[in-house]
Structure 1
Amino acid sequence: MSDQLIHILVIDDDEDDFFLVTELLHDISPGQYVLEWAPTFQKGVAALEKNIYDVFLVDYRLGANTGIDILYRIQQMPSQPPVIMLTGKGDYNIDREAMLAGAYDYLVKGEITADLLERSIRYALDEYNHRRSIEESEKKYYGIFEKAHDLIILADGDKKIIDANPAALKTLQYSQEEILTLHLGNLFLSQEQGDHFLNNIDHNNPTNTREYEFKTADNKKLVVLINAVTLDETEQILLCVIQDITEKKREEQEKQHQEKFVITGRIARVIAHEVRNPLTNILLAVSQFKEEEIVSTSEDTLLFTDIIERNCTRINQLITELLHSTRMIELHMAPHGINELIEKALLLSQDRLQLNGITLKKNLVSPDIMVNTDEEKVVIAFLNIIINAIEAMTPGKGILTITTTKSQDKAKLLISDNGVGIAEDKLARLFDPFYTNKAKGTGLGLTSTQNILLNHKGTIHIDSETGKGTVFTIALPVI
């Protein structure tokens, strides 16, 4: 036992029993215990409120009440100190009732010895401290589980979800009841990825060495990293800690787009310089050649010189367009509402929408969000995306959805279509100059759009699925 004094309250209507307990403890551990006596149930209840006792020795018979009533009162206390039940004779039913009510031990008065009493108190205190330690650990880890920003999911041996923390429920857009009906494999965007992850677990392979794609309850894609460990080998409880890196990946993509755009601009300027000089010389030479009398009378020669001139002019125009779409542009900035800008772009596309039988759905935030923009250029950028969406949809069946929201310090515009979608291997090239799937397109529309938005310190991101449609997400700084 430690040197710290142990305070004991004896709740017993027989004073002789109190003296007996006092003597027994004094004999075996003098000076270790401080005992007080409550001779009635009422005084015992009043003494509980002091909350100063380490152990309670409670007689089963307390007049009209019993020691079980005291146990129930102690269970309502925050600390719930240990209780040892005392009775005049051994009774299995009383023993069982006392233990079910929370007693730590049960002693028959006529059989109590100093060793037995001291051991019972010591074991009760050890058990109490052990329980408190477990409770503190549970509170600590439950707090981590509840407050963690990462998604935490528990699954059983069959990989069925048995619990999920608030961050997981919020991010995945499930209620507690809904997520408990799911299997871990249901969280993955593709069955192939789900099978890969579950096979790694079954073979004890690392699960955080590659990215996976989850789908939320509303079918949005999340990019995640998962670390899975077995918490309980016996019950096969699996702990999955999931890091949502969707936004991080998006930021990396946007940074790559910006770097790529800067490099493209440099290359465009070099090409313009290196190609325009020879083109000018070719055009001058052709012009001089055509002035010769022998050339001017030959139809074949005139045909070929015209071809040379026409194609040189075309090359020159393409270089000019490339420079315009990749260079820093002069902006005339003024405050405008994001809703106001998209409405103007929609007005310019009204004829195309009607001609193609496109259904327009608008979910515009209220009040409007003010952004600092060059109105003319941003409307052109929005219009380019709207036209791309219209051309991607089947006439008469297309649905164009325009959504504006505010996210922290950004005004967000989502332009969604239900068109043919874009293959994943083509997404990364959409903003490349001269890349197009259109028969008559130059491939500079989206390059120019990206240029306008980057000059406004904005971003543009594309999510697409073949056969289901595309979502362009534009973000501009809020004033």
Structure 2
Amino acid sequence: MHSFIDNNFDAILVLDISGVITRVNPAFVKMLGYSKQEVEGKSAFNCAFLPEEELRQLVTLHEMVMRGESLSSIECVRATKSGVQLNIMLSVTPFYNDRNQIDSWIIVVADRTAQKQDQERLIANQEELDIFIQNNSDGIAFFDESGSLIKMNKSVETIFGYSFKELQNISYYNIPIVSEEMKIKLTEQFMRDSVIRNFEVEGVTKEGRKLPMLVSITPLTKTITTYGVVIKDISQLRSAQSSLNRSEALSMIGQLAAGVAHEIRNPLTSLKGFTKLIELKANIESKHYFEIMNDEFNRIELILNEMLGVAKPHNDRVIKTEVSAIIEYAIALLQTQAVMKSIEIVTEFIDNPVIECDDNQIKQVFINVVKNAIEAMDQGGQITVRAVQPNEDGIQVEVIDQGEGMTPAQLAKLTEPFYSTKEKGTGLGLMMCLNIMEHHKGFLKFESELGKGTRVILGLPVRQ
């Protein structure tokens, strides 16, 4: 027994029935730094290697061993001679004499300090990883091998509107945030490559709104029992790219329009002048043709003005003006046209905000929008112009008509250059309006449903 104790790699000490240390092995001396003379013959309850806060546990262990219990895997702390505290794992075994009475107890001491530190580091790393996952702006979710959602961060809920409770019992194959077609494509890609990186798909929010997003799927173990999914909402990126493309298109079209308009305006002026001179000498039968010619000249001038408006959207001046004054000016200008089509224009003002803008350009925008509303209503009806000030930073004006409305496809192309839903439209008017609004740091939005009319929303900041 003595040979087994002395040659064991683990630290061992032997206590008699009263708790006095009768023997320690070399491994114990090496671990704690106390010599055999400093330890043997002393009570374990009074040894320097026992921290005071551990005394109560040792008394409890002593009582349990005296009842004949064998104890193992007991975590505690012991101090080396140099004062370093070690995380210890104890295994306590009672030793019986030939009369079957507890004669002593043998304690095997294993240093678990390194493992404890590794475990603490692992826990800390796990906590850091959890914080990173939870605070990540991208949606992050984990699925088990059966396809069930086992964890997700707040960004998934923010992007799609579903809580974890709503999705946790739903299989990947039934999860509502991706269409069936996209699930099939993702599955085929994953089966082929075992990993997916930045696969562009179309997601669906709880409200039914569609989102462009990039999906990456990675197995988290070699046996592929758990999957990590990263979802990046790229709707803002797509919107920014669309705005950039539109700005570049506007710049190119503006330069082209300015050149064409200037080249056409001079000969047009000459043509109008000579036509007037000829008209004075023409007979009565020819008057009708001159009316048509003058109408067409006026139409060409209107197109030229729109082209120049696209070419020169910058604010020439900025003044303070009441929103109601701009709206009333536009309505007064178009009132006759509205009455002729049995259309009533109703205004609703909540407060009367004052904004800083180039009033001539903003008047042009409202004239264009209200004019479009009138032209969309062949059966008469009501146009509502509503102005509100949602906050101190900006105002919002809505122009709501009861016209034919538009399809989603028409709505998507509405501000594209040279696209028009009107038979004689140039497709430049709304493009010019959008350009003016953006240069005023505002926005122009359209909502429409076929057969139910159109709602145009104009937003402008209070200050430039």
Aligned partner letter, 2:45 = P
CA RMSD of aligned residues (A): 5.6
Q: Is contact 1:146–1:165 with CA below 8 Å preserved after alignment? A: yes
Pick the aligned partner of 2:127 from 139, 150, 153. 139
Aligned partner letter, 2:165 = E
Aligned length: 415
Distance in 2, matches of 1:62 and 1:206, equals 58
What SS does structure 2 have at the residue aligned with 1:211? strand
Instruction: Confirm whether residue 273 of structure 1 aligns to residue 262 of structure 2.
Output: yes
List aligned pairs for 1:77-96, cutoff 5 A.
81-88=87-94
Partner of 1:128: 116
What SS does structure 2 have at the residue aligned with 1:239? strand
What SS does structure 1 have at the residue aligned with 2:421? coil
Q: Is contact 1:57–1:86 with CA below 8 Å preserved after alignment? A: no
What SS does structure 2 have at the residue aligned with 1:88? strand
Instruction: Confirm whether residue 322 of structure 1 aligns to residue 307 of structure 2.
Output: yes
Q: Is contact 1:344–1:379 with CA below 8 Å preserved after alignment? A: no
Distance in 2, matches of 1:263 and 1:477, equals 27
Instruction: Tell me whether 413-422 or 280-289 shows the greater mean CA deviation.
Output: 413-422
Deviations along 1:31-53, one digit per CA (max 9) or x if unpaired, are 4315797639xx98951499xxx
Deviation, 1:231, is: 0.8
Q: CA 1:422–1:184 in structure 2 vs 1: closer, same or farther (change >3 Å)?
A: farther
Q: CA 1:32–1:82 in structure 2 vs 1: closer, same or farther (change >3 Å)?
A: closer
Distance in 1, matches of 2:275 and 2:431, equals 33
Deviation, 1:380, is: 6.6
Q: CA 1:467–1:59 in structure 2 vs 1: closer, same or farther (change >3 Å)?
A: farther
TM-score (norm 2): 0.66
Deviation, 1:284, is: 3.9
Q: CA 1:168–1:356 in structure 2 vs 1: closer, same or farther (change >3 Å)?
A: farther
Pick the aligned partner of 1:214 from 203, 210, 222. 203
Deviation, 1:136, is: 3.1
Deviation, 1:470, is: 8.3
What SS does structure 2 have at the residue aligned with 1:241? strand
Q: Is contact 2:389–2:396 with CA below 8 Å preserved after alignment? A: yes
Partner of 1:97: none
Q: CA 1:59–1:134 in structure 2 vs 1: closer, same or farther (change >3 Å)?
A: same
Q: CA 1:139–1:433 in structure 2 vs 1: closer, same or farther (change >3 Å)?
A: closer
Q: CA 1:399–1:335 in structure 2 vs 1: closer, same or farther (change >3 Å)?
A: closer
Deviations along 1:383-430, one digit per CA (max 9) or x if unpaired, are 8668878959x999x999999867xx9758596999965445x55642
Distance in 2, matches of 1:448 and 1:264, equals 11
Deviations along 1:86-136, one digit per CA (max 9) or x if unpaired, are 13169xxxxxxxxxxxxxxxxx97676xxxx4xx614x4454344334323
For structure 2, the residue ranges without an aligned partner over 5 or more in a row are 1-10, 78-84, 97-102
Instruction: Tell me whether 317-326 or 368-377 shows the greater mean CA deviation.
Output: 368-377
Aligned partner letter, 2:94 = G
Instruction: Confirm whether residue 333 of structure 1 aligns to residue 319 of structure 2.
Output: yes
What SS does structure 2 have at the residue aligned with 1:62? helix
Instruction: Confirm whether residue 173 of structure 1 aligns to residue 161 of structure 2.
Output: yes
Deviations along 1:354-383, one digit per CA (max 9) or x if unpaired, are x9999x999x9xx99986445675577468
Q: Is contact 2:20–2:44 with CA below 8 Å preserved after alignment? A: no
Instruction: Tell me whether 465-474 or 317-326 shows the greater mean CA deviation.
Output: 465-474
Aligned partner letter, 2:234 = I
Deviation, 1:172, is: 2.3
Deviation, 1:73, is: 9.5
Instruction: Confirm whether residue 454 of structure 1 aligns to residue 438 of structure 2.
Output: yes
Identity, % of aligned pairs? 20
Instruction: Confirm whether residue 236 of structure 1 aligns to residue 225 of structure 2.
Output: yes
Q: Tell which structure's C-alpha radius of gyration is larger.
A: 2
Q: Is contact 1:346–1:383 with CA below 8 Å preserved after alignment? A: yes
Aligned partner letter, 1:33 = L
Deviations along 1:414-452, one digit per CA (max 9) or x if unpaired, are 96999965445x556422355221346554442242133
Pick the aligned partner of 1:250 from 239, 244, 261. 239
Distance in 2, matches of 1:153 and 1:345, equals 55
Partner of 1:99: none
Aligned partner letter, 1:32 = M
Partner of 1:39: 45
Deviation, 1:454, is: 1.9
Deviation, 1:228, is: 1.2
More strand by share: 2
Q: CA 1:374–1:72 in structure 2 vs 1: closer, same or farther (change >3 Å)?
A: farther
Partner of 1:435: 419
For structure 1, the residue ranges without an aligned partner over 5 or more in a row are 1-7, 51-55, 91-107
Distance in 2, matches of 1:219 and 1:194, equals 17
Distance in 2, matches of 1:30 and 1:224, equals 63
